[in-house]
A and B are shown apart, each in its own frame.
Chain A
Amino acid sequence: MDEPADSLASASFFTGARDVAAGISRREAIARTLKAGAGLSVLSQVGGLLRGATEPPPSPSAPGPVTVTLNINGDAHTLAIEPRVTLLDALREHLGMYGTKKGCDHGQCGACTVLVNGERVNSCLTLAVMHPGDDITTIEGLADGDALHPVQAAFIKHDAFQCGYCTPGQICSAVALIKEGHAKTDAEIREQMAGNICRCGAYQHIVAAVREAMQPTG
């Protein structure tokens, strides 16, 4: 096993590929690099100031963790989590499923889009405890083994992502859009994808990818 990347100057930090081959994910490499940094604690203090002065009143029946079983991509996951954990945070922080991204955390960007019973929703604005018994599909659940979902394949073919951060949400949203069947023209695709924003501006290629993925196959 190679040495872990513990320096920004290390080439493997940027390519990520060597780290993955060495058994360290890019996430782990970055975490180790930043662990020594003091920047994070400053950010959290500033965030506290911005959040406002009011403290929530003490709750007479302060709840602890509750048990909830979530069906995600066909697998059952039982968690003991507080009711305030969003579905997004349950996926990322409690289940290690990092495919779904946190963009704005307020339902304004669509990066957190997942499918609940086939319908697209912002996972940042729904609680994990609201979904026992629901069929949840995340970006990780679209491919069939090594066979990409047609929407994933179309996104690659049409170069429909740059940084890739909005992409899982775009793809999940597009999968649902196709099933909904309301969009026929490019203008309608744009309107129906309006809940997913892309700072890199890959919109034209996203529309092309969705247009192709909508075509009946064969």
Chain B
Amino acid sequence: MNNFSYILAAQPDEALRDWTGPGRPAYLAGGTNLIDHIKLGVDQPQRLIDVRNLGLDQIEALPGGGLRIGATVSNTALAYDERVLKDYPVLSQAILSGASPQLRNAATTAGNLLQRTRCSYFRDGFSPCNKRQTGSGCAALGGFNRTHAVLGTSERCIATHPSDMDVAMITLDAVVRLRGVSGERTVPLQDFYVAYGEDPAKENVLKPGELITAVDLPATEWFARSYYFKARDRASYEFALASAAVALDLREGLVRDCRIALGGVATKPWRAHAAENALKGTRPTEQAFRAAANAELSSAVPRAHNGFKIELCRGTLMQALQTTAALA
């Protein structure tokens, strides 16, 4: 790893102040993504600012209902929280389907939101990669792209966003709370991620030095009918080839409202608006599920080795919808 200095920040404002200064800084929480990247040479920060001591490690009930999840709550703590298990089961299932117990113990909410693609060309540190080095090209386009994205891609980048937690959170109308030198602001999670488009190196709307302090989940009662289904090569400890997070407001045999998000197939956690609009007001039948999946996947673009993901994603989404509809 390149040599860097290490500071343990005591207050959020101190962390923000620490950000400025000579040498490129990075915030450090669990380190399960950052330290991996530093070892690979993909990221070479010169100053690490540890943010685990800023008091952002609690899950609080909000006065009007809902939850405020601190930025440095561990993935394990979040997945096993009684309130999450009861009110947002898709979130717990998604977290527990990802990584390993060791990684989940160290990984944090904010760190998970900011995790980067597993594209092997990005991670090898030397292939043409517009995400790593703007304008250098995309080795995956003409390379081995079996695990790459079919939604949200451009000719500049087809890297898959690998997260499970983020897909579940985007299903639950999560709102990210940010703190920067110019003050605090909130951003709905579905607006937090940027489509790769022009500059794949820019993945989210964070301003330099901005800290994620918490993620808020709303008090939407029907989110209790939610489910996460993940399809992958191995039974565990493996990223998704395709995954679906679903929440259904099912009343008197009709889908009154729904939230659908896809993972493993897109360049960012993918809110499936077309699928949602196709499903609203329908009876929860296999035909309706298929029509919803088709609506969302009609814009999918296959590459040389990942065309199978379109059919896999269709089946994954239909399975998730079926299971969610059948929940007691």
Contacts and interface: CB of A to CB of B under 8 A. Distances in A.
B103 A127 contact: no
B6 A63 contact: yes
B55 interface: no
Contact of A113 (B23, B28, B76, B102): B102
A119 interface: yes
Interface of A: 51-54, 56-57, 59-63, 66, 82-84, 86, 105-107, 110, 113, 119-122, 125-127, 129-130, 173, 176-177, 180, 182, 190-192, 194-197
B44 A57 contact: yes
Chain B, interface SS category:
loop
B276 to A, nearest CB: 31
Interface stretch (B30-38, B58-66, B250-258, B287-295): B30-38
Contacts, number: 119
Interface in B7-64: 21-24, 28, 30-32, 35-36, 38-41, 44, 46-48, 50, 52
A106 B105 CA distance: 16
B308 interface: no
25 contacts: A51-B41, A52-B41, A52-B125, A54-B126, A56-B2, A59-B4, A60-B23, A61-B5, A61-B21, A61-B23, A61-B46, A63-B6, A66-B6, A83-B4, A119-B105, A122-B106, A126-B106, A127-B48, A130-B6, A180-B101, A190-B236, A194-B101, A195-B99, A195-B100, A195-B102
Nearest to A62: B3
Nearest to A86: B35
A194 B106 contact: no
B124 interface: yes
Given A83-B5, A122-B103, 12 more contacts: A57-B44, A63-B6, A84-B1, A84-B3, A105-B39, A107-B102, A120-B101, A125-B36, A125-B103, A127-B31, A127-B35, A173-B101
A110 B99 CA distance: 11
A169 B92 CA distance: 26
A195 B102 CA distance: 7
Nearest to A119: B105
B36 A106 contact: yes
A192 B4 CA distance: 34
B106 A125 contact: yes
A207 to B, nearest CB: 13
Contact of A127 (B2, B6, B36): B6
Contacts of B28: 130
A106 B100 CA distance: 13
